[in-house]
Amino acid sequence: MSAPMRVSGLRVVWHAARLQVALSRRSPEHALVLLIAPMQTTTMLALTLAAHREDVVANAVLAPGLIGLWVASLDYAGRIVTEDRWAGRFPALIAAPVMFGLVVMGRVATVVLVGTAAFAESWLVAAVGFGRRLTVAAPGTFAIAVAATCLATVGTATLLSAVFVVSRARDVLQNSLGYPFYILGGILVPVAALPDWLHPFSRVVFLSWSADLLRGAVHGDTRGWPRAVLAIVALSAAAMAAGLWLTQRYVDRTRREGTVEFS
């Protein structure tokens, strides 16, 4: 890819992000994920401390942040293209002389960025509400893990937005991709605590690598972190490529069938 094309692509993503900011101002429900994280943190920490399990306080603080990212990806970013069709924006967006998938990616990234605030909220609830100030033993590794996780969330949300818009069972898919992924992703309990036969399935879910890496960074156990980051980035790239391809296929199909104006 030439330098002008890269610059052009970055400009498309930037302007798409600005568009999403403008749309989100009119749709405050995109920020509802920020109301979920404090309540989840309160519940998990209360149960953890009531059981006198100080050793898993980090799990109770990190889990709502990861859940917040997944909710942002699944419930908000994942329905971007569908909402464009309902709102009548789809024809104008695909008429622009740019790759529609990049527009979706830029808008998805904006929603996911809002979801990252769930981590800060969890920390604040733990410190102010429960007097538990979680310290990170390996801050560098933790920062890399958060960045890789956000990248993977953007790639996954881009794929989900394409899958949902081509599926006739969008609501069923959205409702079924919540708690199973919290379990397979090792968010609620580490993957090592799951039955052995579930481990291969867990490792194709980027959240499982992210959860282990974040917990390890908090406790100072950074063994194997390059492998974990590589796995997260690889899964992100695969999801992003599949999402961009499927989005373009959908755009081409609507043009070919003359259904661009249909919602």
| pLDDT mean values, one per 10 residues, the chain (263 residues) | 55 85 74 81 90 87 90 78 81 83 88 85 91 90 93 91 79 78 87 89 93 92 90 94 91 81 58
CA distance 59 to 66: 10
SS3 104: helix
pLDDT at res. 207:
93
pLDDT at res. 54:
84
pLDDT at res. 96:
79
Structure-token pair, residue 135: 């310290």
Cβ(251)–Cβ(94) under 8 Å?
A: yes
Closest residue by Cα to residue 74 from 180, 153, 152, 21 = 153
Residue 249 contacts by C-beta under 8 Å, 6 or more apart in sequence? none
pLDDT at res. 205:
93
Structure-token pair, residue 256: 């070919």
